[in-house]
Structure 1
Amino acid sequence: MSTTTLLIRKNDLTSTRLETAEDAPLANGQVRVRVESFALTSNNITYAAFGDAMNYWQFFPTDEDGWGTIPVWGFGSVVQSLHPGVAVGERLYGYYPMASATVLTPARLSTSGFYDGASHRRELHAVYNQYLRCSADPFYTPDTEDTQALLRPLFTTSFLIDDFLADNDFFGARTMLLSSASSKTAYGTAFQLAQRPDIEVIGLTSPGNVAFCESLGCHSRVLTYDQLDQISADAACTYVDFAGNAGLRLAIHTRFANLKYSCSIGGTHVTQLGGAKDLPGPRATLFFAPAQIKKRSADWGAEGLGQRLVQAWQAFSTRAALAPSPWLVVQQHEGAEAVAASYQQVLAGQGDPRTGHILKL
């Protein structure tokens, strides 16, 4: 057997190549998982853009200096097992490389799943190391796998951002500014915020995505990036930055003298990323979802957090798939060349924001 992987040059995300290598034999305690489908969104581009700073390249290291594999969320089936607690044929949801297969070392097994105990992942955050058995996963239904792969990890972040903001009383602001408003994590956050009384949600986006954002019905207003002057300069506001656009961040910090908090989430504007030093107003602070998971697991217990997440997910995913105007239309791409082409499209920020890409190598 052999495995095909899409490799990305770390210092030039537009440079890719496909590599096929013969599979090494498994060691005792390992399993080989066929990666059957995975989602590719701007969230994965964020993983690449922050790959060194936040250790995303370390999950699936390559043998070649300067080249990495971007992690993705998806589904796989166990095709070989040398672990007594994991059976061939088991279907798993989790964090995979952009590859046709991967090897895991199951540890901390339970009825719900296990963690990858590989030595290179031990210091990485547990949230990304967990693999869930679909047979025991309360989120899972076979007919919604594509929606889960595309939206579940993003919505989990959306849920946690909304919860983090509410947990901090929105930092004394009642106006939330969301950049890259057409991105899935941003509109998941808007969906959650829209359910909170007295919170104004302003979506910021490019001109071509205004109509889409308005169709979601989650925003109090949708503005283009050059329409900041339509918001009162003395408005008490919090900036939730999904774009990572250094120029936009500076413009917001400069215009709004009453900016209460600046929350950095992602980097969908890859070509316009930049530092956040010497900004007027509050320091731009990176949001790290696992930290909020840890806090709420302590506050509510893991089961309590899970119940809240499942309830919120069911409401969001139902609306996202609702005919006749679904927020998400799935597009399938199969084969090495199709996967490489889809990556370039998502990297460039091209295409309909309603489209969700599901890939298979």
Structure 2
Amino acid sequence: MTTVLQVRKDALAATRLVRAEDRALRDGEVRVRIDSFALTANNITYAAFGDAMNYWQFFPTGEDGWGIVPVWGFVTVVQSLHPGVAVGERLWGYWPLGDGAILAPGRLSAEGFTDLAPHRKALHGVYNGYLRCNVDPYYSAGTEDVQALLRPLSATSWLIDDFLADNAFFGARTVLLSSASSKTAYGTAFVLKGREGIERIGLTSAANVAFCEGLGCYDRVLAYEQLDDVAADVPCVYLDFAGNADLRRRIHTRFADHLKYSCAIGGTHVQHLGGGGDLPGPRPTLFFAPAQIKKRQAEWGGEVLGQRLVEAWSRFRDEVSAPGSRWLAIEHHRGGEAVQAAYGRVHAGGGDPRTGHILTFAR
């Protein structure tokens, strides 16, 4: 039996646990047991943008109205009808929010393979790749939880910084980051800290100001109510991790033509999501990390890009994992009901920003 958590596409707080008999493998397929995975605001963003960005299509339910949220984590191969993938191998990658999955490996290498399941062929290759832990340069056995929580976000953060630098910050020297306590936002601020002359202003709820200040990656941290403390004539870029339509309008209205670029990244404020039409200043543009990966692969080659991403991850991992770190406190959740409850907490938001949720369906 395989268990998954399904989510109502039009009401993301509504979930159900669904158990189904395992089908027999076809030649060339492998079955994996999903050992552990992270659940963060990033996964809620996958759900919030599920239709627009095709996230629901990776693990279709076959039933209208219900979807499976993708997650990042570690698995073990428990059955294989593919000569290039052995039972017992551990893999890193993109999985359904459940306890198992079937893959159709292709394009094999020593490092990993691509899932060539027919329904995934039109989807972006970044999410279809699976890496073998025993040769993965990112992998460290003692930090699996930190990897699951922050590795995908670290890559996104680095790519946001690279995108902005690639465009000379659109002529701005100040970057506003909403949902500043979220992991992707503070990961981005951590990378931006290396850019000389770029001011990083974190915007967050009043309750999370002290946490964000304590991280040391923002030049200033302001509660959302303090937005007017930023001069209206400052040329700036807005990195929107919140997706809050009211906040977006306030920022566009205040800075207008001084807002040089408006970058929509996340949807942590899922109850306040909205479109970007009819706003002063630039039209909000959705950031799609795989597009920047594709550009850099063409310019630098995959090996150079991969090396830079690994180096960035290592710096961030070491900072977050240092003894006495203020960044992260990990909570483990075991069993289907606990997974369902943890999803509800993350979807609702407002929890301790230091908490990182690691989930498994096994008890």
Please classify the TM superposition score into its range, dividing by the shorter chain length: over 0.9
The two structures have a TM-score, normalised by structure 1, of: 0.99
Counterpart of 2:327 in structure 1 is: 327
Counterpart of 1:227 in structure 2 is: 226
**Cα displacement (A) at 1:325:** 2.8
Aligned-partner SS, 1:136:
coil
Aligned-partner SS, 1:76:
strand
- The percent identity for this pair of structures is 68
**Structure 2: distance between partners of 1:142 and 1:22:** 32
What does the per-residue CA deviation read over 1:162-190, in whole Å, with 9 as the maximum and x for residues that have no partner?
00001100000000000000000000000
Aligned-partner SS, 1:165:
helix
Note if 1:351 corresponds to 2:322. no
**Structure 1: distance between partners of 2:69 and 2:108:** 26
What does the per-residue CA deviation read over 1:82-132, in whole Å, with 9 as the maximum and x for residues that have no partner?
000000000000000011100000011000000100000000000000000
**One-letter amino acid of the structure 1 residue matched with residue 109 of structure 2:** S
Aligned-partner SS, 1:290:
helix
User: Runs of 5+ in structure 2 lacking a partner?
Assistant: none
Counterpart of 2:155 in structure 1 is: 156
**Structure 2: distance between partners of 1:17 and 1:259:** 42
Counterpart of 1:198 in structure 2 is: 197
User: Runs of 5+ in structure 1 lacking a partner?
Assistant: none
What does the per-residue CA deviation read over 1:14-73, in whole Å, with 9 as the maximum and x for residues that have no partner?
111101111000000100000000000000000000001110000000022111100000
Mapping of residues 179-218 of structure 1, within 5 Å: 179-218=178-217
The two structures have a TM-score, normalised by structure 2, of: 0.98
Contact conserved, 1:319 with 1:326, CA < 8 A, in 2?
no
Counterpart of 1:51 in structure 2 is: 50
**Structure 2: distance between partners of 1:265 and 1:60:** 22
**Cα displacement (A) at 1:324:** 1.4
**Structure 2: distance between partners of 1:14 and 1:232:** 38
**Cα displacement (A) at 1:298:** 1.4
Aligned-partner SS, 1:140:
coil
Counterpart of 2:19 in structure 1 is: 20
Mapping of residues 1-361 of structure 1, within 5 Å: 2-257=1-256, 258-361=258-361
**One-letter amino acid of the structure 1 residue matched with residue 339 of structure 2:** V
**Structure 1: distance between partners of 2:325 and 2:136:** 28
**One-letter amino acid of the structure 2 residue matched with residue 328 of structure 1:** L
Contact conserved, 2:215 with 2:326, CA < 8 A, in 1?
no
What does the per-residue CA deviation read over 1:300-346, in whole Å, with 9 as the maximum and x for residues that have no partner?
11110111111111111111112213311111000000000000000
**Structure 2: distance between partners of 1:235 and 1:141:** 43
When the two chains are superposed, the root-mean-square deviation of aligned CA atoms in Å is 0.6
**One-letter amino acid of the structure 2 residue matched with residue 220 of structure 1:** D
**Structure 2: distance between partners of 1:204 and 1:214:** 11
How many matched pairs? Answer: 360
**Structure 1: distance between partners of 2:13 and 2:243:** 18
**Structure 1: distance between partners of 2:277 and 2:293:** 28
Contact conserved, 2:77 with 2:90, CA < 8 A, in 1?
yes
Contact conserved, 1:40 with 1:72, CA < 8 A, in 2?
yes
**One-letter amino acid of the structure 2 residue matched with residue 237 of structure 1:** C
**Structure 2: distance between partners of 1:14 and 1:352:** 19
Contact conserved, 2:25 with 2:81, CA < 8 A, in 1?
yes
**Structure 1: distance between partners of 2:337 and 2:21:** 19
**Structure 1: distance between partners of 2:40 and 2:20:** 26
